[in-house]
A and B are shown apart, each in its own frame.
Chain A
Amino acid sequence: MIPAQFDYQAPATLEEAVSLLASDLDGAKILAGGHSLIPAMKLRLAQPQLLVDIGRIKSLAYIREEGDEILIGATTTHYQLESSDLLQRICPLLPDCAKSIGDVQVRNKGTIGGSLAHADPAADWPAAVLALGAELVLVGPKAERTVKAEDFFVDLFTTDLQPGEILREIRIKKPSGRFGQSYQKAPHPASGFAVVGIAVHLGLNDDGSCKAAAIGVTGVDVKAYRAKGVEAALSGTTIDDDAIAQASLHVCDGVDPNSDLYASSEYRGQLARVHMRRAIQAAKAKAQ
């Protein structure tokens, strides 16, 4: 319940945060909403020496359109994403995913950037950003770089963030043309984390056939991944029930699903297939 001691800094700017982080590459940690880090600290599973609180950098919390992109600041809370009219209009997958995270208290404080950087294998956001082909903007002491979501999640709780780097922004191409999106999740009854979570973005041709599908899967493997087998199987089909069912079978291609007290590997695989099918169907139903 009580974390170990640490030092705390609340820089006013991102530049300051970067330099504070650089001052102790091993012991410093970024604190955004704190809803991944603080629980770990309270159990003393994480004992950083220095917390650099970027939650106070107001300019890091935003949702805006710019050209053909949606830009989301790293410290934007789950609730801000859930309740954004703009997103509801142009990219409903984000609010859809946001509202299934944790509970209202967690959504009020937890941030998208914090969640992505933490890379919990059962977190919801990784699935959504994968399905949206997001790019993540990382800022370090020397330079800023952009990483594709697909390359960002490296392993269990491990991302491409290098020591000293901070996730600054999430960039998403504005979905265009005919499309439908959905996030379907089987929550753990105790923790609320995704036993499986499936985020689907379905691009449709004028005739209603599948132009391209992009699908993110969380909870199944040690990290979130793109279900490329499903995407490929769906592509070009008329997305009828049969095609959806067949494509969904590929959700665990190349993956050995996690096994834990709640769900065995076999059952988790089944949940992934079922939720995949339901997510695609829901996305199709929502397609304009």
Chain B
Amino acid sequence: MKLEGIHQLDAPRERVYQCLVDPEVLQRCIPGCERLEKTGDNTFAATIRAGVGSIKGVFNGTARLEDLREPEHLRIVVDSKGAPGFLKGSGDLDLEHAENGTKVNYSGDVQVGGTIASVGQRMIQGTAKMMATQFFTSLNAEAGTQAGEPPPQHGFFRTALRWFSGWLRNIFRKH
């Protein structure tokens, strides 16, 4: 499934880029990411508790950053497996200067297999949308702090999510 969208973040491009390549920040931004350990140059072992509402599954796998061209482009490649099936995908992120921040052009491909693929047909798109929205909402919050500062609090995310999810989703389209 293809996903494509544009996100407007408040922080400058360099700061956003810095966040995107920082495993600690990424772990906090990827919804449900419980573990992101560096295993090599730009490769990580990941555990993600992905899902929505009461529907959840734990996925183990790898994440890789590719095609790094600071501060304008990078690709994230995720490949994971869990009891409900597999979850993999890749996303190209293009960062552009924008007034008051950064515009992130996103284009990705998500594949799911196993139980989720066979039973979650009507929800996969929505879930992907939601997780991406959460990711960028968190990223925006993270990028709003300076490197080395304490990360934003959990409560902030919750509130932020509620505020941002509406308008973020609107610019996030499936093709």
- Alpha-carbon gap, A258 to B173, bound state (A): 10
Give the distance to chain A from B132, nearest Cβ to Cβ, in Å: 12
Contacts of A216 in B (CB 8 A): none
A178 to B127, CA, bound (A): 41
- Number of CB contacts from chain A to chain B under 8 A: 79
Which one of A45, A46, A158, A221 lies within 8 Å of B120 (CB-CB)? Answer: A45
Residue contact B55 to A44, C-beta cutoff 8 Å? no
| A259 interface residue (CB < 8 Å to B) | yes
Residue of B nearest to A118 (CB): B53
Q: How far is the CB of B153 from chain A (nearest CB, A)?
A: 15
Distance, CA A265 to CA B170, complexed state (A): 13
Q: Mark A129-162, 1 if CB is under 8 A from B, else 0.
A: 0000000000000000000000000111110100
Measured CB to CB, the nearest residue on chain B to A264 is: B174
Report A49 CB to chain B, min CB distance, Å. 12
Query: B53 to A158, Cβ gap below 8 A?
Result: yes
A256 within 8 A of partner (CB): yes
Known contacts A45-B84, A155-B161; is-contact A259 B52 (Cβ 8 Å): no
Contact check, A45 vs B121: say whether CB atoms are below 8 A apart.
no
- Docked Cα-Cα span, A264 to B123, in Å, equals 13
Q: Does A2 contact B (CB under 8 A)?
A: no
Cβ of B69 within 8 Å of any chain A Cβ, yes or no, is no
Chain B residues in 8 Å Cβ range of A40: 54-55
B56 cross-chain contacts in A, Cβ below 8 A:
45-47
In chain B, positions 154-173 with a C-beta closer than 8 Å to chain A are 161-162, 165, 169-170, 172-173
Instruction: Check B54–A155 contact: CB distance below 8 A.
Output: no
Inter-subunit contact B129/A222 (CB<8 Å): yes
Contact B52 A156 (CB under 8 A): yes
Q: Which residues of B contact A243 (CB under 8 A)?
A: none
- Which residues does chain B contribute within 8 Å of A259, judged by CB atoms? 125, 174
Q: Does the CB pair A119–B53 fall under 8 Å? A: yes
Contacts A40-B54, A45-B84, A222-B129; A156 near B170 (Cβ below 8 A): no
Docked-complex contact B165 and A155, CB < 8 angstroms: yes
In the assembled complex, the Cα of A29 lies from the Cα of B161 at a distance in Å of: 23
A45 and B119 form a contact (CB under 8 A):
yes
Residue contact B130 to A155, C-beta cutoff 8 Å: yes
Number of interface residues of A (CB under 8 A): 33
> Interface size of B by Cβ–Cβ distance < 8 Å?
30
User: Is residue A66 contacting chain B, with contact meaning CB distance below 8 A?
Assistant: no
Set of chain A residues within 8 Å of B53, measured between Cβ atoms: 118-119, 156-158
Query: Is A110 an interface residue, CB under 8 A from the partner?
Result: no
In the complex, what residues of A have CB within 8 A of residue B84's CB?
A: 44-45
Which of A119, A158, A255, A260 is in CB contact (< 8 Å) with B121? A260
- Complex CA gap A255/B52 in Å reads 20
Do A261 and B54 touch across chains, with their CB atoms under 8 A apart?
A: no
CB contacts under 8 Å to A, within B8-66, are 51-57
- A260 proximity list for chain B (CB < 8 A): 121-122, 125
Tell me if B169 and A157 are in contact (CB < 8 A).
no
Taking CB atoms and an 8 Å cut-off, the chain A residues in 10-67 that contact chain B are 29, 37, 40, 43-48
Query: For B54, what are the chain A residues with a Cβ–Cβ distance below 8 Å?
Result: 29, 37, 40, 46, 48, 118, 157
User: How far does the alpha carbon of A156 sit from the alpha carbon of B57 in the complex, in Å?
Assistant: 16
Q: Are B57 and A45 in contact (CB under 8 A)?
A: yes
CB-contact partner of A158 in B52, B83, B122, under 8 A: B52
Closest 10 pairs between A and B when the two form their complex, measured CB to CB: A157-B53, A157-B52, A222-B126, A46-B54, A45-B55, A156-B126, A260-B122, A156-B130, A156-B52, A155-B165
Q: B-contacting residues of A (Cβ < 8 Å)? A: 29, 37, 40, 43-48, 118-119, 121-122, 154-158, 160, 188, 191, 193, 221-222, 254-256, 258-262, 265
Apart from the given pairs A156-B130, A221-B169, A259-B125, 18 other A-B contacts in the complex at a CB distance below 8 Å = A37-B54, A43-B115, A44-B115, A45-B120, A156-B53, A156-B123, A157-B54, A157-B55, A160-B162, A188-B122, A191-B122, A222-B130, A222-B169, A254-B170, A255-B170, A256-B169, A256-B170, A258-B126
8 contacts between A and B (CB under 8 A): A40-B54, A45-B51, A45-B120, A121-B123, A122-B122, A158-B53, A188-B122, A261-B122
